[in-house]
């Protein structure tokens, strides 16, 4: 049985089968990060991004590098654009632009419907040299539902209809390019470097025959940046200066095999010379390149240039001399080797890590371990030692930024000083060992990938060891039950762990990770069960704290924190439930709702939770005094003052909530944050928060 995203673009298969000389299909590989802004930049400049660029995916700035759009404008050519408004934030070279907002990933239709509205009328005007139509429905459908949802099938079928209408309007001098700027994972996400995220497709079609030997049996793999030099030469434009892509030689062929090879060699020569100029300019400003490797590549290019010049002269004399095809193939292979090697050389350089800053991070990590050990033995140290330790820790932080050498000099004495002041019991030694072990595992990529499993193991080990070390037999049974249920909770939490793409087949995402809006309408019973479970979890968490506060007497108070807990928090929980209940509606009904209906409940929750937390921070006391003091003085030492009055008053006052004067406001803030997190992470993770 085919998955929802399979066999939906039938027009591509039909054109490849019926018009093989007019069409070509490739596997299209993107360079990570596979975020939209970086992909658009690569598709227009031909340059390689880095993961540092991923932070610029929001609030995109203008592209200042040389790019194919700018070259077109310089040559007096017209560009028409419609679709994702990220383009207009990066480029201002469009003669006509029809941008649509792209930030709302739950909106599957606004951008696509806007593009469809203008697409065919603008195509027919023929006042353009480059026509860009960026559809977003498939991408947003992946983010909202994932690829295995019926909505994905509907979106792809809509794109199939669009492609059929475009093909019917093409003229012989037009090339249709259909590409995906990135792939997506099984959950519909992208941005990383997993195969699912970097692999996409590229399809080319023209009413005029362009390809001499169409590849129908084997799909060739090309880099995404290879599109830039190819389109540049097809449009008779200079290749952008910073391009590192390799031209697709299949687009430059003729009926004669020798002429076809010569044409490919000429465009490869242009491509190689452009990259050579870029490297020469770059190496003058930076010494990052391996000079030996760079020299070898330049020698290879010189050999290609020399061999090409000689073979052209010889062909002019004798066009059919023996071995001409072999020589031409060898030159073409050398050109491609040069282009591929330069790209890989640049990729390795720009993906390298800064050792100094990595060392600084390691030093700070070590200092955090030291402070943790210090906190375990807080009762053994006076206030002066506390101040000195934290002051030294602050100095180390500043030193790491200024000088790694200075930081390393300070770390040693600080560690020794702290350890000598600690009382190292067996429990503390074990806790220190686990803490150090957990921090050390971050030096291993494999342990980082499986950090969730390691953390669960360490937590379980620690709580069982602490239970074993408990000497009081009367409390041991109760403690063992608590530890047992705690261990079960940790094990159940595995159901709510999201899989990293690096874990591959070692991790399988559960259905709990899908939000209600991503679940098919056919599973309405499951959706209702999920909703009730999430509602029960958040209500249980709030109810448990309420019962505890009532038991200790804090709920008798009319202080702002208690009032907010009794009235504001339930309203926020109800608001969250309304937000989740809307997602139970059928997809066709949910999509027709006004936007204010969808956003009103979350905004109400954010507003009320903010008010509740501010009230708790400003008026943290959750106590109520029955006896009539003249006044409650405003002082930080209120509890000692109440105790003094107890000694002087003949009739002792009745004070509710004094036992939990510190813990009550903390719990109230905690439940406020839990309600907020349940809204942020969605109903799928709410049961894990409720635990």
**Phi-psi region at 487: left, alpha or beta (left = phi > 0; alpha = psi -120 to 50):** alpha
CA dist list (Å): 639 to 384, 535, 558: 25, 39, 18
Report the C-alpha gap between 196 and 199 in whole angstroms: 6
Q: How many helices (H) and strands (E) does the chain have?
A: 27, 9
Q: Are the beta carbons of 12 and 163 closer than 8 angstroms? A: yes
Interval 210-240: pLDDT, tens? 887 666 667 899 999 999 999 999 999 999 9
User: 114-118, 379-383, 528-532 — which is least confidently predicted?
Assistant: 379-383
The answer to whether residue 425 scores a pLDDT higher than 70 is: no
% of the chain exceeding 90 in pLDDT: 32
Q: Are the beta carbons of 119 and 81 closer than 8 angstroms? A: no
Pick 552 or 353 by higher pLDDT.
Answer: 552
Report DSSP state, residue 637.
T
The answer to whether residue 1 scores a pLDDT higher than 70 is: no
Interval 594-617: pLDDT, tens? 888 888 999 999 999 999 999 888
CA atoms within 13 Å, Cβ hemisphere of 572: 27
Residue with tokens 């239709």: 109
Q: Are the beta carbons of 622 and 668 closer than 8 angstroms? A: yes
Pick 427 or 268 by higher pLDDT.
Answer: 268
Residue among 280, 267, 251 nearest 342 (CA): 280
Interval 625-671: pLDDT, tens? 665 545 555 555 656 666 666 666 555 666 666 677 778 888 888 88
Report the C-alpha gap between 238 and 258 in whole angstroms: 25
Q: Are the beta carbons of 138 and 184 closer than 8 angstroms? A: no
Interval 502-514: pLDDT, tens? 676 677 777 777 7
> Rounded to the nearest 5°, which phi and psi values hold at 274?
-65, -45
To the nearest whole number, what is the mean pLDDT of the chain?
81
> Rounded to the nearest 5°, which phi and psi values hold at 81?
-130, 150
Residue among 148, 4, 8 nearest 519 (CA): 148
Interval 64-92: pLDDT, tens? 889 999 999 999 999 999 999 999 989 98
Report the C-alpha gap between 165 and 632 in whole angstroms: 79
Report the C-alpha gap between 16 and 540 in whole angstroms: 59
Report the C-alpha gap between 308 and 311 in whole angstroms: 5
CA dist list (Å): 257 to 20, 305, 309, 311, 328: 19, 21, 18, 15, 10
> Rounded to the nearest 5°, which phi and psi values hold at 360?
-60, -45
Query: How does DSSP assign 306-339, residue by residue?
Result: HHHHHHHHHHHH-TT-TTHHHHHHHHHHHHHHHH
Report the C-alpha gap between 181 and 282 in whole angstroms: 27
Burial annotation 546-573 (CB, 10 A radius, 16+ → b, else e): beebeebbbbbbebbbbebbeebbeebb
Report DSSP state, residue 32.
S
pLDDT at 366: 72
User: 127-131, 464-468, 632-636 — which is least confidently predicted?
Assistant: 632-636
Report the C-alpha gap between 550 and 555 in whole angstroms: 5
pLDDT at 661: 74
pLDDT at 634: 55
pLDDT at 605: 94
Q: Are the beta carbons of 84 and 91 closer than 8 angstroms? A: no
Residue among 108, 157, 113, 109 nearest 4 (CA): 157
Report the C-alpha gap between 185 and 197 in whole angstroms: 6
Most confidently predicted of 404-408, 525-529, 570-574: 570-574
Residue with tokens 């509205």: 117
pTM beyond 0.85: the answer is no
What is the average pLDDT across 357-364?
Answer: 71
- Tally Cβ neighbours within 10 Å of residue 650: 4
Angle at 291 between CA 287 and CA 297, to 5 degrees: 125
Residue among 131, 143, 146, 140 nearest 178 (CA): 131
Helix, strand and coil content of the chain, in percent to the nearest 5, comes to 65, 5, 30
Report the C-alpha gap between 183 and 667 in whole angstroms: 43
Burial annotation 442-474 (CB, 10 A radius, 16+ → b, else e): eeeeeeebbebeeebeebeeebeeebeeeeeee
DSSP-based three-state secondary structure for 139: helix
Angle at 561 between CA 555 and CA 567, to 5 degrees: 70
Give the dihedral of Cα atoms 587, 592, 598, 600; nearest 10 deg: -160
Q: Are the beta carbons of 431 and 445 closer than 8 angstroms? A: no
Strand partners, 655: 625
Class of residue 289 by CB neighbours under 10 A (exposed 0-12, middle 13-18, buried 19+): middle
pLDDT at 132: 96
pLDDT at 203: 96
Q: Are the beta carbons of 91 and 67 closer than 8 angstroms? A: yes
Euclidean distance between the first and the last CA atom of the chain, given in angstroms as a whole number = 39
Report the C-alpha gap between 5 and 24 in whole angstroms: 21
Q: Are the beta carbons of 243 and 213 closer than 8 angstroms? A: no
The answer to whether residue 118 scores a pLDDT higher than 90 is: yes
- Helical (H) or strand (E) element with 178: strand 176-179
Query: How does DSSP assign 371-405, residue by residue?
Result: HHHHHHTGGGS-HHHHHHHHHHHHHHHHHHHH-HH
Q: Are the beta carbons of 71 and 233 closer than 8 angstroms? A: no
Report DSSP state, residue 31.
P
Report the C-alpha gap between 216 and 233 in whole angstroms: 25
pLDDT at 463: 81
What is the average pLDDT across 488-492?
Answer: 82
> Rounded to the nearest 5°, which phi and psi values hold at 202?
-135, 125
Interval 175-216: pLDDT, tens? 999 999 999 988 788 887 788 889 999 999 999 988 876 666
% of the chain exceeding 70 in pLDDT: 79
pLDDT at 407: 47
Q: Which residues contact residue 564 at a Cβ distance below 8 angstroms, ignoring those fewer than 6 apart?
A: 611, 612, 615, 616, 668
Q: Are the beta carbons of 212 and 263 closer than 8 angstroms? A: no
């Amino acid at each position: 049985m085919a998955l929802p995203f399979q066999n939906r673009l039938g027009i591509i298969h039909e054109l490849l089968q019926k018009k093989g000389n007019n069409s070509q299909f490739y596997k299209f590989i993107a360079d990570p990060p596979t975020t939209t802004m970086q992909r658009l930049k690569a598709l227009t400049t031909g340059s390689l991004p880095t993961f540092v660029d991923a932070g610029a995916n929001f609030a995109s700035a203008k592209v200042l590098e040389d790019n194919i759009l700018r070259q077109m404008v310089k040559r007096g050519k017209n560009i028409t654009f419609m679709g994702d408004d990220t383009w207009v934030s990066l480029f201002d070279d469009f003669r006509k632009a029809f941008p649509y907002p792209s930030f709302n990933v739950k909106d599957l239709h606004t951008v696509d419907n806007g593009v469809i509205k203008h697409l065919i009328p603008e195509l027919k005007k023929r006042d353009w040299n480059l026509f860009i139509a960026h559809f977003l429905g498939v991408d947003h459908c992946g983010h909202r539902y994932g690829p295995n949802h019926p909505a994905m099938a509907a979106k792809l079928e809509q794109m199939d209809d669009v492609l059929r209408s475009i093909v019917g309007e093409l003229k012989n001098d037009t090339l249709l390019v259909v590409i995906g700027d990135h792939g997506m994972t099984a959950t519909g996400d992208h941005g990383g470097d997993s195969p699912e995220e970097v692999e996409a497709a590229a399809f080319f079609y023209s009413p005029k025959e362009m390809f001499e030997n169409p590849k129908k049996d084997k799909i060739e793999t090309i880099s995404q940046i290879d599109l830039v030099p190819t389109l540049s030469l097809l449009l008779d434009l200079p290749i952008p200066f910073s391009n590192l892509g390799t031209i697709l030689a299949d687009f430059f062929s003729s009926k004669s095999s020798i002429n076809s090879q010569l044409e490919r060699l000429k465009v490869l020569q242009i491509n190689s010379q452009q990259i050579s100029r870029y490297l020469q300019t770059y190496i003058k400003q930076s010494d990052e390149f391996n000079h030996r490797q760079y020299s070898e590549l330049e020698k290879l290019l010189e050999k290609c240039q020399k061999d090409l010049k000689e073979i052209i002269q010889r062909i002019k004399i004798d066009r059919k001399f023996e071995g001409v095809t072999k020589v031409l193939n060898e030159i073409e292979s050398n050109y491609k080797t040069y282009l591929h090697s330069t790209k890989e050389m640049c990729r390795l350089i720009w993906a390298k890590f800064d050792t100094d800053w990595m060392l600084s991070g390691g030093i700070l990590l070590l200092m955090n371990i030291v402070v943790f050990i210090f906190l375990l033995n807080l009762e053994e140290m006076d206030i002066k030692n506390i101040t000195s330790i934290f002051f030294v820790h602050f100095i180390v932080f500043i030193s790491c930024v200024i000088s790694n050498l200075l930081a390393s000099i300070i770390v040693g004495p600080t560690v020794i000083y702290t350890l000598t002041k600690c009382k190292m019991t067996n429990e503390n030694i074990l806790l220190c060992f686990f803490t150090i072990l957990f921090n050390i595992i971050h030096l291993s990529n494999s342990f980082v990938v499986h950090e969730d499993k390691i953390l669960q193991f360490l937590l379980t080990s620690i709580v069982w060891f602490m239970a074993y070390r408990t000497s009081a037999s009367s409390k041991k049974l109760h403690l063992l039950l608590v530890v047992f249920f705690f261990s079960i909770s940790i094990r159940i939490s595995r159901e709510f762990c999201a899989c990293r793409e690096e874990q591959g087949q070692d991790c399988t995402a559960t259905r709990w990770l899908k939000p209600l809006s991503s679940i098919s309408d056919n599973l309405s019973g499951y959706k209702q069960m999920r909703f009730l479970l999430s509602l029960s979890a958040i209500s249980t968490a709030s109810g448990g704290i309420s019962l505890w506060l009532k038991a200790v007497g804090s709920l008798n108070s009319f202080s702002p924190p208690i009032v907010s807990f009794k009235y504001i928090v339930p309203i926020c929980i109800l608001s969250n439930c309304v937000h989740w209940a809307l997602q139970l509606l059928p997809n066709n009904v949910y999509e027709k709702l006004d936007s204010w209906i969808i956003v009103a409940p979350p905004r109400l929750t954010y507003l009320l939770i903010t008010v509740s937390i501010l009230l708790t921070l400003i008026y943290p006391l959750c106590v109520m005094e029955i006896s009539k003091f003249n006044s409650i003085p405003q002082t930080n030492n209120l509890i000692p003052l109440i105790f003094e009055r107890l000694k002087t008053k003949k009739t002792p006052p009745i004070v509710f909530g004094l036992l939990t004067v510190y813990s009550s406001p903390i719990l109230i803030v905690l439940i406020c944050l839990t309600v907020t997190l349940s809204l942020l992470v969605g109903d799928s993770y709410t049961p894990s928060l409720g635990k």
